[in-house]
Structure 1
Amino acid sequence: MIDALVDPADPIERQRDKLLQIARVLMARVERITDDGGAAYAQFQRAAMLEDQVRERTADLERTLDLLNLSNDRLAEANRATEAARQNLANAIETVQEGFALFDADEVLVLCNSRFGLHLLDIKDHLKPGLTFDGYIELVSRSRYLALPEAETPEDWAIRRRRRHQDRHVIFNVRMIWDRWLQVSEHRTADGGTVILQTDVTDIIRLERLERGKMLDDQARVIRATLDHINQGVCIFDAEGRLVGWNQRLGALLAIPLARFRLGASFESLMERFQSEIAFDGITPEGLEAWVRAHNGRAPLNFELRRGADMILDVFAQEMPDRGFVMSFTDATAERAAIAALSRANETLEARVMARTLELEDALAHAERANASRSRFVAAASHDLLQPLSAAKLFIASIGDEAVAPQSREALAKAQNALDSVEGILGALLDISKLESGRAAVSVGPVRLDRLMTQLRDEFAPLAAAKGLRLELLPSSAVVLSDPTYLRRILQNLIGNAIRYTTTGRVLVGARPKRGMVRLEVWDTGPGIPEADQENIFKEFHRLHAPASASEGMGLGLAIVERACGLLGHPLGLNSVVGRGTCFMLQVPRAEGGALPAAHGQAATDLRQQTMVAAQDKIAFLVENDEDLRRAMGLLLEKWGMSVLDVATGEEALALIEEIGILPDFFLVDHQLGPGMTGVEFIRRMRAAHGPVPACIVTANRRPEVAALCAASDIRLIQKPIDARVLEEFLADL
């Protein structure tokens, strides 16, 4: 009711006057109305309360008006600050040299500067606040100032652009018409908005392009100079098989003017042009064209070209990273000629070596027969002479002292000593003949040195004492591996020589352990042996510092020692100082030292004996087109105890095996048998028909392709000229 009487929009003074007027009217009315119940007083009381409420409401209204005025002042100040900040931001982004645009988190354009979209004049007027990001992309994709990549539509460009927009930070270049370029970078703001910067990088890209062009030109000049400098012909083709580069050497090797080479010419057209002038070896023209047409994973290719009757070119082709390929041509004429000449010389040398080998084998056989005859003669003569000598000694011993005059007893004693000396010489000759003929039987086993030393001391102590010498044999508990008879004979000869040639002093015999071996040493204090004579003393009938008397020996002791040590495999050594004495030493393996070393004679013939055992009763099949070499190999194999079948070609070999119906134990096959088939082909056919028969290729061809072919077919390869030891190893493996 009061609100209807008092208008809040009136000034405060007006509202107060109205309230006072209302109060006076109410008071007058109260005074006029009187009743017995005190209603007038109650009316007055209510009016007073109403006045108090009006007063409080008026105060609240005044405070509210004050707060409203303050808020309006602050809002006006904030609006002025916001407008100033907006103007400052607009001025700031306007001074930026790049195009600038800000999209909010809802992908709506908030503001941009005048440089944003400057290069897209046909959409610049549409770039205003409120434009969505998709709308912006759609406008750019259809701008006539945008240079789309080849075969790309505006829709494809827009899809690719939106995909890039998914990244948080994006930088890429956009090509415009008239060869202009913009670099566009996008960055996310903290509230999810997007800031786009557009930078004109036309000058930078053109400068880089110019520098790259200069660098490529420099590289092209360097490559051209390099290609023209090398001694190989080179041609380069791109991924489409078009000629993109070559050097001058190529024309010289192919005898083709460089004017006939045309940039961009296809490989097929060049093949058609040059095929009539060259011949292929190792590949067919169709195979080469198929290699060129293959675009993925082309393996390097190596083959030969022949131009005319004389020139041979080694060609190597390889794929490049860009799927193009490069071919190099090397003049191999001189190399092939040298190989052919070397092969001919090798074959001639093989024939000469084989002829000389046969001659030497014949001479060796004659020498062996003569040596065997001499050894048999010596053995027979020694055996026959020992019997009458023994009888003569018995006759002399049967003569009693009483039947002989005193003056004759000395003559009988000297005759007895002479017969003993002759018997010793004949025994030594018999030992020499056995050792030289290889008929000496050895029985290697454990030998106790303490027992051997005791026997030798008992044997030589009286002889040393008779000459006034001191004989010392140092005790040893070692057990060695040797033949006890020959080891004792070796030490007997060494100790006997030491006593014979020593006039004063002593003879010392000892055993020195040394790394699984025992070194037996015989020392003396004799005159010593000059270095010039140290090799000669081991020769038969050679004596030093002693008269040539049978009673003093004939110089066979050291010869027997050397041959016996060689037979047993005991290394023999000598150390001597003239005027001070001599030491002979030999090394013998300890019994606990492991396997027995092979005797010298056995070690020298182990491989040959294995070969003989393996070759016994074997059938060998030779396939060799060289008649002299075939005959020489046949003689060698027959000498080793084999039966030999030999033919000149693979066809003859197949026919012979079919005819006789017998499969040989192994094949020795030349690789180059003629135009019919190669050695490897022959062996493959034999294995296909008869299973994995042992076979070996014998060839003078040292090209790696032949070795790889044999390895792939699991065929043994022996190079010419043939080494008999290699052939022995092959036969021993059988």
Structure 2
Amino acid sequence: MSLINPRDALERQNEKLLKITESLMRRVEYQTAQSGAAYSQFERAALLEKRVRQRTEELERTLDLLHESNAQLARATAEAESARRDLADAIETVDEGFAFFDPEDRLILCNSRFCRDFRELQPVLKPGLSFDDYVDRISRARQLVRPEGTSPEAWARERRARHADRHVMFTVELEGDRWLQVSEHRTSQGGTVMLQTDVTDIVRLERQERARLIDKQARLVRATLDHLDQGVAIFDEEKRLLGWNRRLGTLLALDARYLRIGTEFDGLLAQLRRSARFADSGDMARFRAWAEAESTGPRGPIDFEIRQGPRQVLHVFGRGMPDNGFVLSVTDVTLERSAAERLAQINEELEQRVVARTLDLEDALATAERANASKNRFVAAASHDLLQPLSAAKLYISGLADRLTEPRDQAVLQKAETALSSAEGLIDALLDISKLESEGLSFDIRPVALREIFGPLRDEMAVLAERKGLQLRVVDSALWVESDPSYLRRVAQNLISNAIRYTETGRVLVGARRVGGAARIEVHDTGPGIAEADQQTIFEEFKRLGATGSGGGSEGLGLGLAIVDRACARLGHPLALRSQPGRGSCFSVRVPVVDEAVGRPTPIHRRPGARRSDVAGLVVMAVENEPDLRRALALLVESWGVDMIEAEDAESAEALLADLGIVPDALLLDQRLGSGVTGTELYARLRSRYGPIPAMVISADRSPDLASACKSLGLTLLRKPVDPNALSLFLESVAEAL
């Protein structure tokens, strides 16, 4: 129980405490004589007085603080009220409608321009209004012009969805062709600031500018249409005429009364039917059905021809537009049709001439084949008859060598014997070539060990190498190959003899490498090398380079490599040459490897040449600027039944394909065409026009850049000199892919 009522004023509490103190003092004085406890009571009274004094001081300080706090609160309230009035005055001066919603989407304040056009909303536009209630009332306001087909509920849902974004801006239409731009921006505390800007003047200016631009574009379109050589007509989705040019009336011979905006398509079609006739009787019905078809998307294209007068031919082309309208174009194709008819006549005449020429060529080919067969028989017979007297002459000369002892006479006899040996070698070589060119030649293809070929040749050729002071090394091989032993030995013998003949110093190396399922027989020499321009020439008959060789024989007369080339072609053994002037040469022949134990060929792609049944009927274009090589290619592939189209450069090739109107099955392209366009560039141009075509690039260029370019384009690269077997394999792959 407290002696002082806390609700009393501070002065009243002090007064009560003083009375209590006086009463206690009197009581102590009165009871001092009666008991010793009186003094203790006095002490307690003094202590109580001290505490009362402290309590009084604390209460006085608290009262001072309370008065100060009340004064500060009053000042803060006044300042807040002043700031609120200033803020209200500030937003009131803004030309735009302004409103602020708190994080709970409750309206805090707004200015008088906010929703000023929505008079129905003014009575409820007060602080505390929720954003959802505000949107619902706006969506049903009669001043709002909603998009066609949009209900108030749908408009409100879309408006709330936009409100979910932190920043949003959109435009709404009001009655009376007025426009309001609304923008919302989220504050850092989650509140929303909303601005409403009247953009009516801007929208109207944009509309006027758009109309001006449309009018300008219409004039440009009109000028463009009038400058076209084609007649053009534009119809809307109701099949009414929207636009046309003067050329349309001229071509269709239409009365000006029918060429006006709004003309019905049926009326125009009826007038067209009276002035022209359709090339096909069903075209008119098809054209009407196309124009009257109801479609949710653009119409597909349509075209047909009509005739005006006795000779004029017009091509009509129609295409639909996205709005279900359509555009018609009319082109005068009289000259093109006349040219096509004339071209058809020329083609018929050419076909007749080609047939006649083909018959003549077949007769000439048969005659040539008969002459070639007679030549082969004659060479074989003559060679046999000539070898006998030559052998006898050599015997007589050998007999004279024992009788003549003078050095000068011995020298003359040696030269005569050398001349006879050369003649004998020439006859043997001619006989070999005759056999290789004969269609009836058959080979004895069977497994053969390379050591059986290399061993005898090492012993035979070592003598020739020693005479010239050369080192001959033949690396033994344990490989077995599939070939004709006699012709394979002849090929290797000619290559080694040729290397020794044209190598003055150094060595000749012979060996075989295993490459996949084939053995590559290689003959290396340290001779003068062969220039790139001469690498094809050396395989021709009686062609020798400027180097001088020792010894006689057919090889010295320029027939050794010709025999090698023909033998490899007939056997299906690819022949290759790598050479660099001043550093020597390497001739190589690929021969299929067989299993030594069973004599079974390994699975490799080996073909002795393309067969007519494989590639016959292919159409191949060869682009080669060297006439001799181009013709040689033609003769080779035509012998396989392939039809060859020849061109000397890129321009003539493109023009020829355009004139013929066909796409060849394959392309044979020389890399250096001599007209500033390479073979790879020509292929890229043809591919862009006709699509991918199997192609082979033929070049003596052995740079990695060309190989990389061909690989990137998917082209086959064939090095010069041309390998007939590689060419036949390429054409066979084309035929298999068709």
TM-score by structure 1 length? 0.52
Distance in 2, Cα, partners of 1:267 & 1:249: 18
Summarize the Cα distance change of 1:147–1:235 in structure 2 as closer, same or farther, 3 Å threshold.
farther
Contact (CA 8 Å) 2:234, 2:244: kept in 1 or not? yes
Identify the residue that residue 221 of structure 1 maps to in structure 2.
Answer: 219
2:349 paired with 1:348: yes
The change in CA–CA distance for 1:514 and 1:272 in structure 2 (over 3 A counts) is farther
Secondary structure class of the residue paired with 1:474: strand
Can you give the 5+ residue segments of structure 1 that lack an aligned partner in the other structure?
1-69, 614-638, 641-699, 704-724
2:305: which partner in 1? 305
Q: 1:608 aligns with which of 609, 612, 625?
A: 612
Residue in structure 1 matched with residue 283 of structure 2 by the alignment: 284
Residue pairs, 1:66-465, within 5 angstroms: 97=95, 169=163, 172-177=171-176, 179-181=177-179, 200-256=198-254, 260-280=258-278, 284-292=283-291, 293-308=293-308, 309-380=310-381, 428-444=429-445, 447-459=448-460
Aligned to 2:673: none
* Residues 1:158 and 1:483: Cα distance change in structure 2 (over 3 Å): closer
Q: Point out the more displaced range, 330-339 or 295-304.
A: 330-339
Query: Aligned equivalents of 1:203 and 1:159: distance in 2?
Result: 29
- Is the 2:304–2:315 Cα contact (8 Å) retained in structure 1? yes
SS for the counterpart of 2:237 is coil
Q: Is the 8 A contact 2:230 2:330 kept in 1?
A: yes
Partner of 1:567: 570
Structure 1 match to 2:476? 477
Q: Distance in 2 between matches of 1:533 and 1:106?
A: 93
Provide the aligned length of Structure 1 versus Structure 2.
529
* SS class of match (2:206): helix
Q: CA deviation at 1:545?
A: 8.4
Q: Which SS does the other structure have where 1:538 is aligned?
A: coil
CA contact (8 A) 2:383 2:431 kept: yes
Aligned-partner SS, 1:264: coil
SS in 2 for 1:265: coil
Cα deviation for residue 223 of structure 1 reads: 2.9
CA deviation digits over 1:700-720, x for unaligned, max 9? 8879xxxxxxxxxxxxxxxxx
| Backbone CA RMSD of aligned residues | 6.7
User: 2:527, 2:585 within 8 Å by CA — same for their partners in 1?
Assistant: no
Q: Which amino acid in structure 1 is aligned with residue 207 of structure 2? A: R
User: Which structure would you say has the larger Rg?
Assistant: 1
Cα distance change of structure 1 residues 417 and 288 upon mapping to structure 2, 3 Å threshold: closer
CA distance in 2: counterparts of 1:464 and 1:166, whole angstroms? 102
Conserved in 2, the CA contact under 8 Å of 1:472 and 1:508?
yes
Q: Equivalents in 2 of 1:544, 1:368: separation in Å?
A: 36
* Distance in 2 separating the partners of 1:507 and 1:191: 95
Which of 517, 520, 523 is the equivalent residue of 2:523? 520
Distance in structure 2 (CA, Å) of the matches to 1:295 and 1:136: 40
> C-alpha deviations, 1:492-536, integer Å up to 9, x for none?
55667888x89x9789653266794332257889xxxx9899769
Distance 2:514 2:422 in 1: 41
Counterpart of 2:611 in 1: which secondary structure? helix
**Displacement after TM superposition at 1:463 (Å):** 7.6
Distance in 2 (CA, whole Å) between partners of 1:361 and 1:432 is 25
Q: Would the aligned equivalents of 1:104 and 1:193 in 2 still touch at CA under 8 Å? A: yes
Q: 1:15 maps to which residue?
A: none
Q: Is the 8 A contact 2:575 2:588 kept in 1?
A: yes
Q: Which structure 2 residues correspond to residues 693-732 of structure 1 after superposition, within 5 A?
A: none
Structure 2 Cα separation of the partners of residues 372 and 173 of structure 1: 98
Q: 1:261 to 1:523 in 2, by over 3 A?
A: same
Deviations 1:90-124 (A, max 9, x none): 87776565678999999999999876787688x79
Write out per-residue CA displacement over residues 454-511 of structure 1, whole angstroms, 9 at most, x where no aligned residue.
323444666888xx55575312124466432113234555667888x89x97896532
Cα–Cα, structure 1 residues 388 and 291, in superposed 2: closer, same or farther, change >3 Å? same
CA distance in 1, matches of 2:370, 2:568: 25
Give CA-to-partner distance per residue, 1:313-350, whole Å, 9 cap, x none.
44443333333333333444434444443343333323
What whole-Å deviation, never above 9, does each CA across 1:670-691 have from its counterpart, x for those lacking one?
xxxxxxxxxxxxxxxxxxxxxx
* 1:511 matches 2:515: no
Aligned partner of 2:650 in structure 1 is none
Do 1:313 and 1:333's aligned partners in 2 also have CA atoms closer than 8 Å? yes
Alignment-derived partner of residue 621 in structure 1: none
In 2 relative to 1, CA 560–584 (structure 1 residues): closer, same or farther, beyond 3 Å?
farther
Distance in 2, Cα, partners of 1:540 & 1:110: 108
Which structure 2 segments of 5+ residues have no match?
1-66, 164-168, 595-601, 618-639, 642-659, 664-728
Q: Which amino acid aligns with 1:571?
A: L
* Residues 353-379 of structure 1: CA deviation (Å, up to 9, x unaligned): 232122111111011112213323444
Aligned-partner Cα distance in 1 for 2:504–2:284: 93
**One-letter amino acid of the counterpart of residue 269, structure 2:** M
SS in structure 2 of the partner of residue 317 of structure 1: strand
CA, structure 1 residues 451+474, in 2 after alignment: closer, same or farther (shift >3 Å)?
farther
Where 1:303 maps in the other structure, the secondary structure is strand
SS at 2:474's partner residue?
coil
For the residues of structure 2 that align with 1:505 and 1:591, how far apart are their CA atoms?
33
Q: Could you tell me how far 1:554 is from its partner in structure 2?
A: 8.5
